[in-house]
Structure 1
Amino acid sequence: MPTTTARSRSSAGKRPPKRKSRAAATAPAATDQPQQLTGRLRLILTVLLVAQFMLAVDFSILNVALPLIGDGIGLSLSNLQWVATSFALSAAGFTLFFGRLGDLIGRKKIFLGSLALLGAASLAGGLATSQQVLLIARVAQGLATAAATPSGLSLLTTSFPEGPLRQRALGLNGALMSAGFTAGAILGGVLTDLLSWRWAFFINVPIALAVLLIAPSVIKESKPTARAQLDLPGALAVTLGLLGLVYGLTQAGEHGWSNSHAVIAMTLGAVLLAAFFRIEGKVAQPLVPLKTLSRRNVAWGNALGLLAFVTETSLVYLLTLYLQKTLGLSPLAAGITFGVLGIGTVVGGLLAPKVITRTSTLTALIVGGIIQTVFTAALAFLGNTTGAAMALLLPATFFGGVGNMLVIVGFMVTATSGLPDQEQGLATGLASMSQQVGITLGTPVMSTVVSATTAGATTASTIHHGVTIAIAVNAVLVLLGVIIAAAFLRTRETGHARLAQHA
């Protein structure tokens, strides 16, 4: 499918003619939809973006506070990882299921219900005095994220017609989600230092409540007119398969690739995912119709999204190791350093829709990937003196963040374009799953690279060496995304759209 999106031609005859690509021609007619950002659309966008930003913050806000959480409720160092892993497992494993469920019973219902669950789980986590309550709260937070992320993204794509308005909305969404991941590290450090680790949970409660009070009156329900049935065998296979894969990879990152739990879990996950594709080819109403998954923009767009989130989120982990273990910075100082990366992602999110409108989605993917590759590779030359390191790290993370956000917005536009509204929940569910799995897998994969190159040593110089090698691997993965975009998303329609722009 074409990956470019050009402006649609006005049918009123009173405005200057606007250009239209084949991708737009295949999309649902939007002649009755607004072509400018009205006051109501601004309110819808604000509500959805606030919710998505809060969800992104949740992925990283507890990282800095983990040692204090362990001390507060008696979690041993070896079990401390479960505060993050329990959240990641449920967030990644159930995203596709809830995305499709929103298609069937209504995305607005799923969105509001998941935010209510998130608020309640955050309150329970903040008040927790036992390990069991805290971990149950984290699982509930992950389930809420798995439901709210695809339903919120579906409401966004169905509220804004395909074209410049949707590109702008997706650009802002991508910028705030990426910035939220970075802001979580900073906010977690500030709240933990000034108040308590419990406020890393409590901060969600008033935000979720505010969205729940405003959203019902401004967001319309979105679901297909024809009632469909849920593909329960497919849902179970893909959910359990993703849980096995994610659990196996997190165990591999913690204990090594030869760990028996990691090997068994990844094997079972792979078998279940293979069974899922067989099931989808046989059932009458599949969870993921293979014809949708076989669309080139959906399949390869999600592959690029997975790589984009694997590389940038794991880079934050690698640089955290470098800043604290090599340069000796405090957790709060290290978190504040990532503010520059957050600014870069916001700039990239604002810039991406303009790049896509004036050139093409493919251009945003390739140019953004090249920028991210160059500045990620530059980080491999970081030294062990603070002044010189910051002179390289700050501009490199800024421009790397800009490039990464061009890729993320390009991936979102690519993976959700040219599809009817009844498939938007599926498309955004797949995109959200790529995002969640990428965020979850990046750290254990890069942690394994560091562990393999340091051989268990924990001196500043050996960690510096391991981080440098992992950063180089990270840059290679980004470059792989550029190659995929150039090889598999370059279509004849891209050329036609450009010709139309110059006509």
Structure 2
Amino acid sequence: MSTLEAPAGQVTGIRMSSRQKLVLTLLLGSQFMIAVDFSILNVALPVVGEGLGFPLAHLQWIATAFALAAAGFTLLFGRIADLFGRKRIFIGGMALLGLSSALGGLATGPEVLLTARVLQGLATAAVTPAGLALLTTAFREGPLRDRALGLNGALMSAGFTTGAILGGLLTELLSWRWAFFINVPVAAAVVALAPSLLTDSRLVCRHRLDVPGAVTVTGGLLALVYGLTRAGEHGWSEPLALSALTVGTALLVAFWFVEQRSAAPLVPVRIMRRRTVVWGNTAGLIAFATETSLVFLLTLYLQEVLGYSALATGLAFGVLGIGTVAGGTLGGRAVSRFGSRATILGGGVVQAVATLSLVALGTSGGWISLLLAATFVGGVGNMLLIVGFMVTATSGLPDSEQGLATGLATMTQQVGITLGIPVMSAVAAARMGKGTGPASVLSGVGTAVLVNSALVLAGSLLAWRALGRRTRTHSVV
């Protein structure tokens, strides 16, 4: 039997050992901190810009500098971890994250802050795939790995929401600098504990690094993310955005041909042809693109239609965070009982239906009840979809390729986060036209929400069908 479906009703007494629980806590804590970093500065951007003299038009580069480095170098660092040891890459990345966070907190000008954000992005690109590979190799494929990946997905998704809330609270009560400083003690604790807790320090692959593949895929991802960000800011017809997207696409196509001819490919073509890798990552791309862009759309609704403050908006998304934690907790059990294929479909349908209900939102404050209920249910569905994606995309591969598999999955996550907002922003803007009032914003948000719901439903159905009716042998935790 293969790795995609499980017979229902099987229950075993499998439990994590004490050491596995400690390893899981360490790795989940670091991944949660990474997720927080994606969003912790979003609500504080105007305050940061005012404090350091950023022109208003350039504020987005505080977020873009991080996203470019994080998405562009993830696949490369995932393979470097396979080649030179995940443990050392993980610890080195956490040390860099702590140092760059301290630099950001002490920044006195835009140049220093942007340097710190790039270094944080590079640290994220190293820590995330190495940490996930350590996680998947610490737990054999089966119920315990499903459970660990479910918890990881829950905390990663909750981290995005927590970042928005925490960023608002720290900025309001202390200073935006604490959005950086908060990372320093956490990173220091992980660096201190990891050497004794983590045991996967051996070299898992002795091939040389595929330099042409590394150059083409990293350059392609950098250009693609830059083009997406630029298009979201200036429109999809803007020449520089189109040029970057064209160059990025060309480099990624070149990467495919380079890998076919490489003696030691960065990503073996046989892996890119695996149905589980292709469609697992497709489901993940849709999951992250739709949910993060939905948060953007609902931020517009809460602030521009209902008149919420940035802090109140962040607090409203706390319900979404609770939903994602619940979905992540259920996700591993759902995969073990029903299989990752069914979990992808079920999660996608739940998320799509919950999102569709938001089309009914109106201009009065009473609609907040619908928003809170829908985001909670949608968060559960989104996390079921994400857990199904992570299990599918990393199943059936040897330990020597787990860094590569998790690097691909992490790249999918980060590109999805970057892709969703400009696409949905363009949909909303096209509907709004030149209107700027609450009614116009509501109309644009409603149209984009409808597209968002259709996209997640279609994507999960396609992934479910492409993965086929295959069965899984292990059981519920």
User: Smaller-chain TM-score range?
Assistant: over 0.9
In 2: Cα distance, 1:405 partner to 1:368 partner: 7
> For 2:316, which of 325, 337, 340 is the aligned residue?
337
TM-score (norm 1): 0.92
- CA distance in 1 between counterparts of 2:270 and 2:201 reads 23
**Contact 2:82-2:205 within 8 A present in 1 as well:** no
| CA distance in 1: counterparts of 2:201 and 2:390, whole angstroms | 19
Provide the residue aligned with 1:228 in structure 2. 207
Q: Which residue of 1 aligns with 2:335?
A: 356
Structure 1 counterpart of 2:376: 398
1:467 aligns with 2:471: no
1:49 corresponds to which of 22, 28, 38: 28
Task: Trace 1:341-490 onto structure 2 (pairs within 5 A).
Answer: 341-387=320-366, 389-490=367-468
Q: Distance in 2 between matches of 1:189 and 1:218?
A: 34
Give the drift of 1:18: 8.2
The whole-number CA distance in structure 1 between the counterparts of 2:176 and 2:111 is: 17
Aligned residue for 1:94, secondary structure, equals: helix
CA contact (8 A) 2:5 2:342 kept: no
The corresponding residue for 1:82 is 61
Corresponding residue for residue 96 of structure 2 = 117
Structure 1: state its 5+ residue gaps.
8-16, 20-33
1:409-459 CA distance string (max 9 Å, x none): 000000000110001011000000000111111112111222222224321
Cα pair 2:342 2:464 within 8 Å, conserved = no
Q: Identify the residue that residue 189 of structure 1 maps to in structure 2.
A: 168
Separation in structure 2 between the aligned mates of residue 193 and residue 310 of structure 1, nearest angstrom:
29
SS in 2 for 1:64: helix
Q: Secondary structure at the match of 2:58?
A: coil
Distance 1:274 1:409 in 2: 29
Quote how far apart the aligned CAs of 1:35 are: 4.9
Pairing of 1:252-401 with structure 2 (within 5 A): 252-387=231-366, 389-401=367-379
Query: Contact 2:320–2:379 (CA<8 Å) still a contact in 1?
Result: yes
1:158 and 1:222 in contact (8 A); partners too:
no
Q: C-alpha displacement at 1:59, in angstroms?
A: 0.5
Match of 2:4 in 1: 4
Which residue pairs with 2:146 in the alignment?
167
Q: Once the 2 structures are TM-superposed, how far is the Cα of residue 379 of structure 1 from its aligned partner?
A: 0.8
CA distance in 2, matches of 1:186, 1:18: 38
Q: Label 1:225 to 1:407 Cα distance change in 2 as closer, same or farther (>3 A).
A: closer
CA RMSD of aligned residues (A): 1.7
Distance 2:284 2:174 in 1: 36
Instruction: Find the counterpart in structure 1 of residue 197 from structure 2.
Output: 218
1:69 to 44, 48, 59: 48
2:221 alignment partner in structure 1: 242
Matching of residue 129 in structure 1 with residue 102 in structure 2: no
Q: Decide whether aligned partners of structure 1 residues 192 and 226 sit closer, same or farther in structure 2, where only a CA change above 3 A counts.
A: closer
SS of corresponding position for 2:56? coil
Tell me, in whole angstroms, the C-alpha distance in 2 between the residues paired with 1:224 and 1:66.
41
Whole-angstrom distance in 2 between the partners of 1:150 and 1:202: 24
Contact 1:315 1:474 in 2 (8 A): yes
SS of structure 1 residue aligned to 2:215: helix
1:103–1:223 Cα contact (<8 Å) kept: no
1:408 and 1:230 map into 2 onto residues whose CA distance is 30
Q: 2:124 aligns to what?
A: 145
Q: Deviations over 1:132-182 (max 9, x none)?
A: 000010010111111110000000000011100000000000000000001
Alpha-carbon distance, 1:353 to partner: 1.3
Deviation per residue, 1:174-226 (Å, 9 max, x gap):
00000000111100110010011111111111111111111110001245555
- From the superposition, tell whether residues 312 and 288 of structure 1 become closer, same or farther in structure 2 (CA, over 3 Å): same
Q: Distance in 2 between matches of 1:420 and 1:366?
A: 26
Q: Output the amino acid matched with 1:237.
A: T
Question: How many angstroms apart in 1 are the aligned matches of 2:361 and 2:341?
Answer: 31
How far apart are residue 76 of structure 1 and its match? 0.8
Percent same amino acid at aligned positions?
60
Q: Secondary structure at the match of 1:78?
A: helix
Equivalent pair of 1:231/1:287 in contact (CA under 8 Å): yes
Match 1:198 to one of 177, 187, 205: 177
Number of aligned residue pairs = 473
Q: Cα distance, 1:284 vs. partner?
A: 0.4
CA distance in 1, matches of 2:400, 2:75: 15
Greater RCO structure (CA 8 Å; 6+ sep): 2
Alpha-carbon distance between aligned partners in 2 of 1:394 and 1:425, rounded to the nearest angstrom: 37
- TM-score, normalising length: structure 2: 0.96
Q: Look up the match of 1:158.
A: 137
Q: Which moved more, 1:221-230 or 1:136-145?
A: 221-230
Partner of 2:208: helix, strand, or coil?
coil
